[in-house]
Chains A and B, each alone.
Chain A
Amino acid sequence: MKKMLIVCSMAFFLAACGSNNSEKNQNATDEATATESSSNSENPPYDPNRGEGKFHDVKLDPHLNEAMAEKGEKIYDLKCASCHKLSDERLVGPGWKGVTERHKPEWIMNFMTNTDAMLDKDPKAQAMLEICMVRMPNQNLTDDDAREILEFMRENDGVKK
């Protein structure tokens, strides 16, 4: 029994040390670990500007696609407006004014479609969660839905046709 206790407490000690270390790494030396892991492992490093999800490189036309934006607005009314205003005022989630300037299009679309994974991992998403205190619901958007909402966000941010 005594032996057990010793083993257990040692294991606990080790585990505690481990988690401290990883936290430090994440908080203090984000960039350093990113470059390190890119040279050492086959997994690509986490790109905080892209987020995590299926969207890698979203090509945007400098002009607005009005038809798309209109569809996006309809989806906004049904699935997003409960929590997001179009001004910069926070309701449940942040207001959408300027969102397309704050985040890359890939990040926005990944967050819309891969919400839970990003809330668990992405530093910017986690920072917002700390302010809003409500996990953004996964609203089951299709890829097209996400793209159309992005177009509506761009319209809201002043992109003209």
Chain B
Amino acid sequence: MKKTIIPVLSITAAILLLGITGCKPKNAGNAAASDAASRVYVAPGKYDEVYNFVSGGFNGQVSVYGLPSARLLRIIPVFSEDPQSGWGYSENTKPMFNTSHGQVPWDDQHHLELSQTNGETDGRWLFANANNTPRIARIDLKTFRTAEIIEIPNSAGNHSSPFITENTEYVVAGTRFSVPMGNISNPDVSIDTYKKNFKGTVSFLKVDPQTGNMNIAFQLLMPGVDFDLSHAGKGPSHGWFFFSCYNSEQAHTLLEVNASKRDKDFIFAVNWKKAEEYIKQGKGQKVNAKYAHNVYNEETHEASSTMENQVTVLDVTQFPDIVYAIPCPKSPHGCDVDPTGQYIVGSGKLAALIPVFSFDKIQKAIAAKDFDSAYDGIPVLKYNDVLHGEVKKPGLGPLHTEFDNNGNAYTSMFISSEIVKWSLKDLKILDRHATYYSTGHLMVVGGDSRKPFGKYLVAYNKITKDRYLPTGPELNQSAQLFDITGDKMKLLLDFPTVGEPHYAQAIPADVVAKNSLKIFDISKNKNPFVTLGEKNAKVVRTGNRVDVYMTMIRSHLNPDNIEGVKMGDEVYFHLTNLEQDWDIPHGFAIKGANNAELLVMPGETQTLKWNPDRVGVFPFYCTDFCSALHQEMQGYIRVSPKGSTVPISFSMGKNSDATVTPEAPSTK
């Protein structure tokens, strides 16, 4: 992405820099509103008004900010291992990264969507897509942890995802890359047979309304284009889903040129309720497809991975009343539905205007069967028949649009580096504000729901350059907070972000905060290796496997002296944190571990595997400062040569022989 835009960018940057030196505003200080400092100041001990969930792009994580202060509250590992907590390294969490390709510990996390009820964000779950090895994750907002990851088969690059219907009935996954599939049995085809053999899919994953668990309900077999973004209809358009695409040329090489030839690409309008009916009637075709479904269980504190092997596919060319193509100028990216559900805004990133389509007009045109032609068997609607109107001369490179609660839309302009505010009613431009530099996505609080909270807008900029103190060639990407309560947008704050934010969501804080879990109830801990009280701490040898059942509490580990481990053993440390107090995690690290450390939350059990690689005595200790005697929270494990006769023994306070005392020494 970055490479292709560098020539354009350098020109833009040059113009900007010239502009900046040549005339006012000279810098952010001048551009910011005069009351900006007081608007973003959240006093010590006070809370922010809004949670802002920000995708991490190439870091595979989700970061959580408080607004308006831009305090970084948390980073959630989703498609990325996290050595500080052991996420992805512990035995408990490894299965979360399982795929049909084996363990895939990284991904490119682009878009986020909060769960909704009646089109309003309900603060239960956050969905996240993986763009590289196609997956969707569900994050539980009680724990701010990844609860589930499902792989998407028949897809290559899950970009048009994870957008949801207005009651979270479905979360969707549209493939960016089309791949050989459909009527061919062998995917080993020449790339230049693209037009004949390559197909795209959009998948609909059913979400259980109670548990949130996902399963792939059906996939629609679509033309071989690149699906880009999508959004569900709402209110009157509930039951429909809109997917933007580029590369309707179906090029397979030098897409920069070859996929930018046509004057218009498409937004596909999908009647998912109709598709649902066909599936119920058994019209779908069962297709073999291998994909992993990984679920984290909060009671056993363990993830499990199941390999699924079938999906149901509907070929949309066989069912002509499911999908309609809306011509949309020049490689549309954002595909955004306004709060009333009446208008669909296409943001053609190479277009010099923003088309706004009318849902009513789309319905009329479909009812009248007044089609232009067909595209790969899909009826194409006439552009002028379904157009509500065009926003003229909005700027260059419209990418993405969100909405406030007063009938206004805000579109990010990548090439001309600005945010443009316009009216949905008459499509007139009301305001524009420069961004520093090159905004990708933007976000209004609740801005893609039926009831936007409004108030704040954040622009997520792709280029940082001179905005902060330099940190060598690599810079964190910059975000900018705007106040949108008045007629004019006011710049309040710049802040650096983590990874590369693409898309973001935000929700009033109280909706989420009130459900936040403080501890795991230890009496409900169902982990098979839990140690319920120090009395039960022990070390058990089974062949060359050694299981250490260890407890942690301020400020000791039990047992803290272990002997009898031999070279060639596999040692599993099962750590149970006996604390039941909020924010008292304990850590566990052992010298030479080839994986990571563990952070164990109160009432939780986590397991770290350790393969001793040499004879000797090895220290382990608590890594998370827990008390004045934290530094004393440490112990030793002795590793003897293979064939040694040192028996397994373990203790805390004094040594005792396991063969004599099968139970751990009691502290009574």
Contacts and interface: CB of A to CB of B under 8 A. Distances in A.
A138 B581 contact: yes
A139 B581 CA distance: 6
Contact of B668 (A79, A83, A86, A134): A86
A41 B273 CA distance: 68
A86 B666 CA distance: 11
Contact of A140 (B532, B581, B667): B581
A134 B632 CA distance: 12
A82 B553 contact: yes
Interface in B519-535: 519, 521-523, 532-535
Interface of A: 77-79, 81-83, 85-87, 91-92, 133-135, 137-141
Contacts of A134: 554-555, 627-629
B584 interface: yes
19 contacts: A77-B534, A78-B522, A78-B532, A79-B578, A81-B535, A81-B667, A82-B534, A85-B667, A87-B668, A92-B554, A92-B555, A133-B628, A133-B629, A135-B554, A137-B553, A137-B579, A137-B581, A137-B584, A140-B580
Nearest to B668: A86
Given A91-B667, A135-B627, A79 B522 contact: yes
Interface in B610-668: 627-629, 666-668
Nearest to B555: A134
Contacts of A138: 580-581
Q: How large is the interface on B (under 10, 10 to 19, 20 to 34, 35 or more residues)?
A: 20 to 34
Main secondary structure of the interface of B (DSSP, over half): loop
A78 B553 CA distance: 11
Contacts of A86: 668
A45 B419 CA distance: 61
B631 to A, nearest CB: 12
Contact of B553 (A83, A133, A135): A83
B551 interface: yes
Main secondary structure of the interface of A (DSSP, over half): loop
A138 B627 CA distance: 13
Interface of B: 519, 521-523, 532-535, 551, 553-556, 558, 578-581, 584, 627-629, 666-668
Given A92-B555, A137-B554, A82 B578 contact: yes
Given A135-B627, A139-B579, 11 more contacts: A79-B522, A81-B534, A81-B668, A82-B558, A133-B628, A137-B554, A137-B580, A137-B581, A140-B521, A140-B580, A140-B581
Contacts of B551: 82
A40 to B, nearest CB: 30
Contacts of B521: 140
A70 B274 CA distance: 62
Contacts of B584: 137
Closest 8 CB pairs of A and B: A140-B580, A77-B533, A78-B533, A82-B553, A138-B581, A139-B580, A137-B581, A134-B627
A13 to B, nearest CB: 25
A156 B295 CA distance: 45
A147 to B, nearest CB: 17
A81 B533 contact: yes
A141 B523 CA distance: 11
A79 B602 CA distance: 11
A148 to B, nearest CB: 13
Contacts of A137: 553-554, 579-581, 584
Nearest to A139: B580
Given A91-B667, A134-B628, A77 B578 contact: no
Contacts of B579: 137, 139
Contacts of A92: 554-556, 629
Contacts of B666: 81
Query: Among the interface residues A79, A87, A135, which one has the most CB atoms of the partner chain B within 10 A?
Result: A79
A160 B581 CA distance: 33
Contact of B519 (A78, A133, A140): A140
A94 B522 CA distance: 24
Nearest to B582: A138
A92 B556 CA distance: 9
Contacts of A133: 628-629
A81 B667 CA distance: 7
A77 B580 contact: no
Contacts of A82: 533-534, 551, 553, 556, 558, 578, 667
A137 B519 CA distance: 13
Contacts of B523: 78
